[in-house]
Amino acid sequence: MSPQDPRGPVDEWRAGWWQAARAVPSPNFGPRPAGVAIDLVVLHSISLPPGEYGGDAIERLFTNTLDWSAHPYYAGIRGLEVSAHFVIRRDGAVLQFVSCDDRAWHAGRSSWLGRENCNDFAIGIELEGLEGERFEPAQYAQLARLLQAIGRAYPVRAVAGHEHVAPGRKRDPGPGFDWAAVDGVAAAQGWDLPAGTSRA
């Protein structure tokens, strides 16, 4: 079981699953290395097809049930097996695909403060959106709520974007993401933000 903070509801987390999210279990995960602290949150953006919102393609991608012939874009990602711990939809709905106690497949080749393979020690959160475009107020509200819940259960020390842990390879969540919207939550919990964001 995940560690519990007495300030949070007793049943807020169950075996790494946040009870406020809709569980959509993905087969794309593995064990974290023994003794590794879960101390980083990595923020991403995703939309399938790019720039289209509201469908079930993200869920299908993360559960290996995407119809590769449903859109021309899918030919370029055919066979991809990926996941994130959470997805926050445009309307603020939160889906969880992998227990936070397990290793989701979201960051790929990455590093943070000299440590390689961020998937080993990070929780991945996808915001439904497109690099460079703005995100919705409902998403920021739910992200703040989720980050606070994560802070009650895990020894997180920093929040970064995919662009920060895989610079030059990834650009999400991109310039449309408002880092000031998470600054207060991060500051209240003593978490670091990447250089060049609102508190840096």
Active-site positions? 126
Helix axis angle for 180-188 and 137-153, nearest 10°, is: 20
How many angstroms separate the CA atoms of 81 and 41, rounded?
21
How many angstroms separate the CA atoms of 8 and 13, rounded?
9
* Of 11, 27, 31, residue with least CA distance to 19: 11
Q: Is 6 exposed, middle or buried (0-12, 13-18, 19+ CB in 10 A)?
A: exposed
Q: Is 137 exposed, middle or buried (0-12, 13-18, 19+ CB in 10 A)?
A: exposed
* Of 55, 107, 50, residue with least CA distance to 76: 50
